[in-house]
Structure 1
Amino acid sequence: MSAAARPGRLVIAVDGPAASGKGTLARRLAAHYGLPYLDTGLLYRMVARAMLDAGHDIHDAVAAEQVVNSFDETAFPEERLRGREIGEAASVVAAMPAVRAGLLTRQRRFAAQPGGAVLDGRDIGTVICPEAPAKLFVTATPEVRAARRHKELIGRGEAVTLDGILADIRRRDARDSGRSDAPLKAAEDAIVLDTSALTVEEAASAAIGIVEGRRAA
């Protein structure tokens, strides 16, 4: 029996595309159940940031493999991991099999904590924690996701356009879904939660309901 499936533990896997609301919901679930939370996307952003800081070409798979096996998770303040540029760079390195393999152990170690954990990303339910008892696949239309990301970036003072963000969203969706290693997709036993027309509170309530349903089952 895997660590995720041990009795008395609760592992919640939250997957979905960029700006779907999965991070917000994962944090809400972690707070509700008193569990540690990991935004696995930040790990890929750390790899991308380390590569950019070292002057590597973000498409250099050899350099990425070296970085992923040596970077310090505590070395990057979160403000250096946010923004449009680093998000795009993270999507590039996330398509590299060596990077995904290098981060696998870190993510599974986090999920194996005694009481359980909440993890969000692109392949939590399919690869990292395939035996997690509660799996959600959070989604929304590209237009809604682009509007959310546009509002977020404008609030940070970035000069962006809604059309440009929508193009980024569609490009990242294609890259994440089309990669050969751990493509973005809903696990067969995941519950799909479309947040397009939901407020944060409505989406959080629905997510808790999904987890409670799985716990009861």
Structure 2
Amino acid sequence: MTDHTTPDPRNRPVNPYAVPQDRQPGPSNPYAAPQPQYQPQQAPAAPAASTASRVANTTVAALQEVHATRPGLISTVLLWIGAVCGVLAFLGTFTEFGDSVPYALGGLCISAAVTLACAWPLSRRHIDRKALTAWEEDVRRNRELSALLTEEDAAIAAGLAPAPRPTPVPRHWKVVGAATVLLGIVGGALVGAGQDEYDKANPPTYGSSTTR
């Protein structure tokens, strides 16, 4: 016959890992050991937002560097003046072939040297300016797109980093400088060789007085 009597709770085995009632924290026991409190951790920053911010900061720094290193206005104006004067002198020299061919050829060489020395850097700067303008437009467009991205577009934001700034085209100053000096030397020699012939064809005019 089975015994259905309820077991006495006092006969249960003691749990060695149980916390005694007198050690439980609470208002009735202020001396109880405090239990560790759960400290919520701050969620990590969104990768897309940080990438977009990095892209924007890099873009601003790159554009500031470009504007800080642009050629000066004064040098550009002086180069334009020299190039225009060289072209006008080159065209005007053709009228002197009737007076002296060597003198006219010398004038062409000298005016070509002046035009080359001024027009060459202007043409290089024009190419650089076009490349920089296209690069600035690309950087601004990437900056605007990065501001519209969310956390799910972290891969796209990482690909919007600004491209390297285009480097200036080669100037070849040694070749251009040597050509300019050579044209100047040849032009000066030809002008000197044809100076007498040119002076004979164009004698100086002085004020004449009429006698009665």
Is the pair's TM-score, using the shorter chain for normalization, greater than 0.5? no
Normalising by structure 2, report the TM-score.
Answer: 0.22
More helix by share: 2
More strand by share: 1
